[in-house]
């Protein structure tokens, strides 16, 4: 057998091995005892199922059934309710409209002079902490503002590593190379394809539903982290099909509600 991947989830060790064309996922306890074994023909599928199985050992785990039930306690009428729109959706849609009006994606990707407009969009929601917004002012009023905005637009269009690295280079001197900052604009420009990443809340949600993002996450701006995030989002969209989310604004709101709202 050849080991292909290995990861740690809490006190468990996950190992993916290949044997004669079959992929085998193994879960080991801290004492080395085997806790579970999963087999399949596709490495990614076995790895995903392995994480789900390991996730059940987390005391916070309640799966997607539990996540939907928890969301329903706060918004019984789902994504279509007026209260949900008031608390979670409308202000994000307003920010999206403002962004499209003042800094359209196609123009921002190649143009210049959008710094003040983009700063106003960042300030228009509470998705970032006040200190993050304050630091962004120095970014968006600096000589490298255009470079950051073009890179953010290119990332929205391509999802490519190079654009993410371009944003990181501009943001790092201002202590603003954060996932919240680099995902904010792509999310508002393209909420059908991108996701805003609020790290602690999203890690908590991933742990509760047993997704590998809980262990994949790292603060460094690595494209593999974002790829794992999008995998979590795609899986969540599938699990929310009955609730009919309109876009990833609804999915992001669902994650936020499930992992951050206080009990009624």
Distance CA 127, CA 123 (A): 9
3-class secondary-structure state, position 24: strand
Which of these ranges, 8-22, 70-84, 124-138, 184-198, has the smallest mean pLDDT?
Answer: 8-22
CB within 8 A of 100, min separation 6: which ones?
A: 189
Nearest to 145 by CA among 95, 187, 111: 111
Q: pLDDT tens digits for 213-260?
A: 998 999 999 999 999 999 999 999 999 999 999 999 999 999 999 999
Q: Which residues contact 84 (CB under 8 A, 6 or more apart)?
A: 75, 77, 78, 253
What pLDDT shows up at residue 7? Answer: 83
Which phi and psi angles does 42 have, rounded to 5°? -120, 125
Cα–Cα dist 113/133, whole Å: 19
Q: What is the pLDDT of residues 104-145, one digit of tens each?
A: 999 999 999 999 999 999 999 999 999 999 999 999 999 999
Residues 149, 174: Cα–Cα separation, whole Å: 15
Q: What is the pLDDT of residue 264?
A: 52
pLDDT digits (tens, 9 = 90+) for 181-195: 999 999 999 999 999
């Amino acid at each position: 057998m050849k080991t292909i991947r290995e990861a740690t989830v809490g006190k468990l060790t996950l190992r993916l091995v290949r044997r004669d064309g079959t992929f085998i996922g193994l879960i080991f306890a801290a004492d080395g005892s085997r806790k579970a074994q999963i087999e399949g023909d596709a490495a990614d599928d076995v790895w995903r199922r392995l994480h789900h199985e390991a996730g059940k050992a987390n005391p916070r785990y309640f799966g997607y059934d539990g996540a939907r039930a928890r969301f329903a306690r706060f918004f019984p009428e789902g994504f279509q309710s007026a209260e949900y729109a008031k608390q979670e959706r409308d202000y994000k849609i307003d920010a999206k409209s403002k962004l499209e009006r003042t800094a359209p994606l196609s123009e921002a990707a190649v143009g210049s002079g959008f710094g003040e407009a983009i700063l106003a969009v960042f300030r228009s929601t509470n998705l970032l902490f006040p200190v993050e917004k304050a630091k962004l002012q120095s970014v968006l009023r600096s000589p490298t503002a255009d470079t950051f905005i073009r890179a953010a637009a290119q990332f929205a269009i391509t999802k490519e590593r190079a654009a993410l690295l371009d944003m990181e280079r501009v943001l790092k001197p201002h202590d603003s190379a954060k996932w919240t900052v680099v995902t904010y604009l792509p999310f508002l420009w393209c909420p059908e394809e991108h996701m805003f990443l609020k790290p602690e809340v999203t890690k908590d949600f991933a742990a509760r539903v047993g997704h590998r993002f809980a262990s994949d996450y790292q603060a460094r701006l690595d494209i593999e982290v974002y790829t794992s995030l999008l995998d979590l989002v795609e899986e969540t969209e599938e699990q929310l099909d009955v609730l009919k989310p309109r876009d990833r604004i609804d999915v992001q709101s669902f994650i936020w509600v499930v992992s951050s709202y206080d009990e009624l």
